[in-house]
Structure formats: structure tokens, C-alpha cells
Copies of this chain bind each other. A is one copy, B any other.
Amino acid sequence: MKHYKLVLPEHMNHQQSLFGGNLLSWIDEVAYMTANLQFPNHRFVTVALDNVEFKHRIDCGEIICFCATLEKQGSTSLTYFISVSGTRKNAEMILFETRITFVSVDEQGLKKSIC
């Protein structure tokens, strides 16, 4: 499932590139939406984010694409592979990739099977 984010001035750091913290925040948000759309009627909480390597500077006005693919489905957990890409010289380019894991919980916060 693909998600897009528009990089606005409010997301920048003072060096005129995207503040890395916003990028991290968006990974969590788009993966969470994907999990909820694919497994409705569950409560998911983020339990782990794999290591992330930022290799490319991201500028204001760019539209970034987050592609979230279910990589592993456990009895109470979901791991998504997240590929983040942008456009460089009119061609799509992978900016970085990571994984994020959610667990399904009940209203008390205890693990609950995914069905």
C-alpha cells in the first residue's frame, strides 16, 4: 500500500532540508494506517522500528512515497517492510528502507490474536 507526503516549510530544519524527525514520524503513521486498513477491527501499537539510514537529502516541495508491504505475520504481530522513495532527475529513487513491527492488543493492552 502506497502513501504520499508533501514536504512543506513547517517540516524543514534550519539547513533547508527535511527534519529527520518528521520522516521517522511519517514511517510510523503510514505503516499504522496500512496495518489498520489491512486488518480492520484491531488495536495496533508500534513495538519496533528497524535501523534506518538516511542517505539522501530531502528538499521542501518534494512528494515522498512510502510503500508498506506486509513481510511477516505472526500470531499477534505484523512486520511491514517500508520503502521510501522520491523523484531525482525525473526518475524514482529509493531514499531508504526499513521495517516496523506492530502488535495487536486488547483494551487492557494485552496481546491479542490477529484474525
Contacts and interface: CB of A to CB of B under 8 A. Distances in A.
Interface of A: 3-4, 6-10, 12-15, 17, 19-22, 24-30, 32-33, 36-37, 40-41, 43, 45-55, 57, 60-61, 63, 87, 90, 109
A12 B11 CA distance: 11
This chain's copy number in the assembly? 6
Contact of A28 (B3, B24, B27, B109): B24
Interface of A (DSSP majority class): mixed
Nearest to A62: B14
A14 B55 contact: no
Nearest to A20: B46
Contacts of A43: 15
A65 B63 CA distance: 18
A25 B33 contact: no
Nearest to A10: B10
Nearest to A47: B54
Contacts of A48: 51-54
Nearest to A55: B47
